[in-house]
C-alpha cells in the first residue's frame, strides 16, 4: 500500500513536470533577435533598424540550396567560415546514398537576425525554419522518405535601390 502511494506520487510528479516543461517550451518557439555586437567586414556599416528580407527571396534561396545539394554543388552555398565545412562535404559524399534528393517541403519562420551595409549592398543574416525531405532508393527497403525540421542561417546580399 505504502509502495503504491509512493509510486503514485512519483508518477504525479512526472506528469506535472512534463506539463510544466511543455508549457515552458512554448515560450521558446518565438524567435526574438538579440542585439549583439558582430564583427563586420572591413568598410561595412551597421544598420540601426533591420529590415525584414522578402520571404519570396528567402524561399528562392532555399530552393537554390536544395538544387545545389541535389547536383553535388552544395559547397557553393557554404560560407568559407562554415564550421566543419570539409567534414560536412565529405560526409555528404560518402554517407548519403547516391541519387538521394533533398526537397524543401515548407518554409516556416523567417527572421532577420543581423544586417549591415557593405559595398553598396545590404547583407542580411536570416534564420529560416524549414521542413525538408530526403528521398532515395534503399536496396533493402526500397523507396525511402526521411522528413525533418531544420534551421538554416542564410547570408543574403541585396543591391540597394
Taking all residues of the chain, what is their mean pLDDT, rounded to a whole number?
82
User: pLDDT tens digits for 4-30?
Assistant: 444 344 443 444 445 444 444 444 455
User: Three cell numbers at 149?
Assistant: 525540421
Please check whether residue 58 is in contact with residue 107, taking contact to mean a CB–CB distance below 8 angstroms: yes
Positive/negative CA dihedral, 116, 121, 125, 128: positive
Predicted local confidence at residue 42, as pLDDT: 87
- DSSP SS3 for 3: helix
Predicted local confidence at residue 130, as pLDDT: 96
Q: What is the mean pLDDT of each run of 10 residues along the chain (161 residues)?
A: 45 43 46 60 89 95 95 90 90 88 95 94 96 92 93 94 80
Specify the pTM.
0.72
Q: Which residue has the cell 524543401?
A: 104
Amino acid at each position: 500500500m505504502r509502495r503504491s502511494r509512493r509510486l503514485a506520487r512519483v508518477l504525479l510528479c512526472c506528469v506535472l513536470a512534463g506539463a510544466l516543461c511543455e508549457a515552458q517550451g512554448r515560450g521558446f518557439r518565438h524567435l526574438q533577435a538579440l542585439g549583439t555586437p558582430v564583427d563586420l567586414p572591413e568598410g561595412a556599416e551597421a544598420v540601426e533598424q533591420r529590415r525584414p528580407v522578402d520571404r519570396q527571396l528567402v524561399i528562392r534561396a532555399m530552393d537554390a540550396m536544395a538544387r545545389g545539394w541535389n547536383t553535388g554543388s552544395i559547397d557553393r552555398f557554404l560560407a568559407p567560415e562554415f564550421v566543419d565545412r570539409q567534414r560536412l562535404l565529405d560526409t555528404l559524399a560518402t554517407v548519403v546514398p547516391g541519387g538521394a534528393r533533398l526537397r524543401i517541403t515548407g518554409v516556416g519562420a523567417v527572421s532577420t537576425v543581423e544586417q549591415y551595409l557593405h559595398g553598396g549592398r545590404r547583407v542580411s543574416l536570416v534564420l529560416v525554419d524549414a521542413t525538408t525531405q530526403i528521398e532515395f532508393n534503399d536496396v533493402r527497403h526500397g523507396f525511402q522518405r526521411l522528413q525533418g525540421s531544420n534551421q538554416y542561417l542564410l547570408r543574403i546580399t541585396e543591391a540597394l535601390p
